[in-house]
Structure 1
Amino acid sequence: MSLIKKIILGVFIYLVFLVVFIPANWVVGIAPLPNNIKVSGVTGTLWQGSADVVSIDRRVIEQVTWDLNPWALFIGQVNVDVRIGSRATAVSGQGDISWSMSGLTADNLRFEAPNAFLLGNARLPFRTKIDGDVSLIVERLEQGAPWCEQLTGKLFLNRIDVKNQFGEYPLGDIALGLNCIDGQVQLNTDDSMNKMGIQGTATLGDNNSITVSAKIKPTPEQPKDLTQALSFLGQQDSQGYYPVNYQGTIPGM
């Protein structure tokens, strides 16, 4: 083998090792991250690494690990298996996330967090405070306009306790189905998915818009303050339901 070929081979091997073992902390250090995102305790490589803490708008996520598939890059995709936290942390999750020129996709995505993490410092109407936590399970997500092309999954609101200037409303557990309707995210629930007598849908559109088309009836499990307030919603229908309708922006956003 000639000297030139040996040099070329040596440079090629060096570049391969450089790419394979590129430190994750170096990549994070030069990445143009937004000012509201902070990452610390980064170890491992670009392809397989971890971060002790990721802070987004003062929302703290601990124990983030990832496995980036290098072979997906050859077909124009970024595919990463992400894991967040553990049973001992407030926020946890995992999922297989991919990005290509056609948009974002996710499979078998799971995410759990307390409501305080999701709401952050948002000010809700009527001095409302919400305790409890949220569990999100997404079987399949394909990005579209304005939000989705395909979406199947469920959202669980666990041990929800709402307090505001009008009273206290321990709502308990509420399950909602997730679907994609004309590019918008639709959440739906009925009497089989909650004990509060709630039935209907909430549709998330662009520009943080939301449309709620639902109804609620008195049930034995309802908090007293909620049952007494139902009459302010309007007239009951023939099945005993009161209307719940709203169209505007997401409260607190």
Structure 2
Amino acid sequence: MLKMKPWKWVVLAIFTYLILLVAYIPAAHVLAFVQKNNPKLPVSIGSVEGTLWSGRVDKVIAQGIAINNLRWELSPWSLLLGKASIDLNGGKIRDTQQTYVKGNISASLFNVQNISAQELKLFLPARSVMAQVPMPVPVTADGRFRVDIQDFEFNNACINLAGKGSWLKGTVSGPTGVIDFGNFDANLACEGEQFSIQILPDNKLNLDAKVLLSVAGKYKINGRFKPASDLPKEVHQSANFFGAADSQGYRNINL
């Protein structure tokens, strides 16, 4: 029979108690503590169930984007490696008016700026996203943005990004009605410390452009476009704001 000195039994009992305390602490208590100590946190969190390791929140709202029925699984083994690895699953993938998320996000316990993601899938209602983007003229867009990230690392700047993005069944409400722009596809990457969005030209605007976005929110757009002949007259008229077309009918974008 294993013999231990009394003080060792006390240490083992305390250690076991702490493990059980952390394992079964309600997630609602943890989130309440985080919100109390971070009153300016730009996230609204609804009703929470479960523990720190496995739980559910009925709604999360960040930057005007809502995710319903968000579930998480936190890997305890990842904590031994100095990071928090969380599997997320929330929203409805087939509901075009809802956000959907599924994948893994990791964050360093020693550097809050160090965030990574693997096999992350996002669907975002275009109307909700565009409502957060400052535009020179009001634009009501519909459809859904899809983002598929194979690998991503951020450490106060874009370190590594491999993924694809799409605007599915994109429409814009114009003075004469709804304009159907169809689908747009793009490749996502890092360029220097900036996020790069390379829009592929197989779309109704023949838009071939690169968008560079900094962490500070500054952007630069370079490319060209030529509206398809079957698009409404107002689209062709609006294209004139970008200057005269070249010999092939393209107009340059340099913003």
* 1:104 Cα deviation after fit: 0.9
Partner of 1:191: 201
Larger RCO, structures 1/2 (Cα 8 Å, 6+ apart): 1
**Structure 1: where are the runs of 5+ without partners?**
247-253
The aligned length equals 244
- Whichever residue aligns with residue 222 of structure 2, its letter is S
C-alpha displacement at 1:168, in angstroms? 5.8
Task: Note if 1:75 corresponds to 2:81.
Answer: yes
Residue-by-residue CA offset, 1:190-246 (whole Å, 9 max, x unaligned): 333x23211121111242111111111242343332123333422323433111221
Deviation (angstroms), 1:154:
1.1
TM-score, normalised via structure 1 length: 0.85
State the TM-score, normalized to the length of structure 2: 0.85
Contact 2:64 2:128 in 1 (8 A): no
* Residue of structure 1 aligned with 2:48, choices 20, 36, 42: 42
RMSD: 2.4
- Alpha-carbon spacing, 1:5–1:197, altered in 2? closer, same or farther (3 Å): closer
Compute the displacement of 1:21 (Å): 1.3
Range with bigger deviation, 15-24 or 164-173: 164-173
Distance 1:221 1:67 in 2: 49
Counterpart for residue 101 of structure 2: 93
Change in CA separation of 1:124 and 1:231 when aligned onto 2, cut-off 3 Å: closer
| Matched residue type, 2:124 | A
Query: Could you tell me whether the CA contact under 8 Å between 1:63 and 1:84 is conserved in 2?
Result: yes
Alignment of 1:22-41 (within 5 A): 22-32=25-35, 33-35=38-40, 36-41=42-47
- For the Cα contact (< 8 Å) 1:66–1:82, is it kept in 2? yes
Q: Which residue of 2 aligns with 1:125?
A: 136
Q: Distance in 1 between matches of 2:128 and 2:53?
A: 28
| Alignment check: 8 A CA contact 1:126 1:164 kept | no
Alpha-carbon distance, 1:123 to partner: 5.5
Determine whether 1:53 maps to 2:59: yes
8 Å Cα contact 2:63-2:132 kept in structure 1: no
Q: Name structure 2 gaps, 5 residues minimum.
A: none
Q: 1:212 aligns with which of 216, 221, 226?
A: 221
Amino acid at match of 1:198: L
Which position in structure 1 is the counterpart of 2:173? Answer: 163
